[in-house]
Each structure stands twice: as C-alpha cells, then as structure tokens.
Structure 1
C-alpha cells in the first residue's frame, strides 16, 4: 500500500468525488517539489499514489486537490478552486491517510488511518 493515501467524499451529494486531479509535493528548502499525482476514481481514491515500497523522508508535504473542475462539471459555482492540505511526516515510515470532506462552500480534513 502507498505510504500516503487519500479519499475525497462529496458531503453535499453524499458520494465519493470522482475525477478530481491531485498532486503531492514535498517541501525542499524554499521550493515545493511534486513527487506524485493522480486523479480520483469512482470511489474518490487514487490507487497507487506512491509505489508500495516507497518510504518518504520526514518533512513537510502538501496535497493539492484541484476541485474547480469537479464543481464545474456539476454546474456548481466554484468557491474553492483548489484545496491545499499541508502536513508533516515523521521518519517512522508509517501510513498516512489524508481524506478530504468536500462541499461547494466548505471542506475539512483530518489524519485518517
């Protein structure tokens, strides 16, 4: 399993958010370096975001969810054209799940398992 996984749920519609592009970045010095990307499937997940045996170094990471196209496809107003979730990884190599609960005018996230 990928060390970092994600799941987007559209809480306004009560279903997974399919077709949302996302990218994972690592903060290196003063730059954000993209290390992975994908698009959510029908279950709102990106299968294999990282290779299963890849262990990321400790540091600061950012998950960029490009939500604007998702809302446009539903013919909804775009209030949040994207959502960036910034988080820290320790050096233990453990699994991190970054879910996004999304609606047209709000979002929330937490560290899942």
Structure 2
C-alpha cells in the first residue's frame, strides 16, 4: 500500500507555506487537487492508497511568491515521481524561494 503527502516551506522566510494549491495527476489520468494547511502540509488526497506508477505533482506557487516576495520566476513547479508497488509512504516536500526550488523524497 502506498500513501502520499507533501510539505511546502519558504526558504527565504523559513516558514511553511499555507494556502498553496496542488494538482496531482495519477498514472491513469485522474486529477486531484488540494491546498496546503497552516503548517504547509497536504495529505488528504481523495484516494487512500496509490498504485505503482508515475505521478505528476504541480505546486501552483506564483500567487504565493508574488504576494509574499513581490516576484516569482516560477508560475508553477512540476515534480514527476514514481511510486513502486508496496513502496509505503511517499512524502514530496518542496523548498521554494522566488528564484529557486528543491525537492526530495522525504519521510
């Protein structure tokens, strides 16, 4: 069984990003949306388990970065990743600033 969560942190302010919209596209083409909570986290996807395959997670960051820092080089950030059969919990964090980002498989 696979589960999925995400977390967005602003590396300029050192704070979590509340209210950022997320769009998840599943291997079968289903699309799910969500919004980060006050701690910058999101894990309430409509499906409780995710099959193996390639997923695309879009972070809609322009509005947040423009409102918070006055500029955003990125209108959105797309992260493609693969889930394995019975891979367990997958956590996809995003560290952002107006002109840079990074991500990794978290725990």
Structure 1: how far apart are the matches of 2:46 and 2:101?
24
| Pairing 1:43–2:34 present | no
2:75 aligns with: 81
Distance across 2 between alignment mates of 1:85 and 1:60? 10
SS at match of 1:99: strand
Structure 1 residue runs of 5 or longer lacking an equivalent are none
Residue 46 of structure 1: how far off its partner (Å): 1.6
Q: How many residues align?
A: 106
Structure 1 pair 16/41, CA: closer, same or farther in 2 (3 Å)?
same
SS in 2 for 1:107: strand
Q: Distance between the aligned counterparts of 1:90 and 1:43, measured in 2? A: 28
Instruction: Normalising by structure 1, report the TM-score.
Output: 0.85
Residue number in structure 2 paired with 1:33: 30
Once residues 75 and 55 of structure 1 are traced to their aligned partners in structure 2, the CA distance between those partners, rounded to angstroms, is 36
Distance 1:107 1:89 in 2: 22
Which stretches of structure 1, 4 residues or more, deviate above 4 A after TM superposition? none
Give runs of aligned pairs for residues 1-113 of structure 1, distance below 5 A. Answer: 3-28=3-28, 32-34=29-31, 36-51=32-47, 54-113=48-107
Q: Offset of 1:49 from its aligned partner?
A: 2.5
Shift in CA distance, 103/75, structure 1 to aligned 2, threshold 3 Å: closer
TM-score by length of 2: 0.90
Gaps of 5+ in 2: none
RMSD value, Cα: 1.7
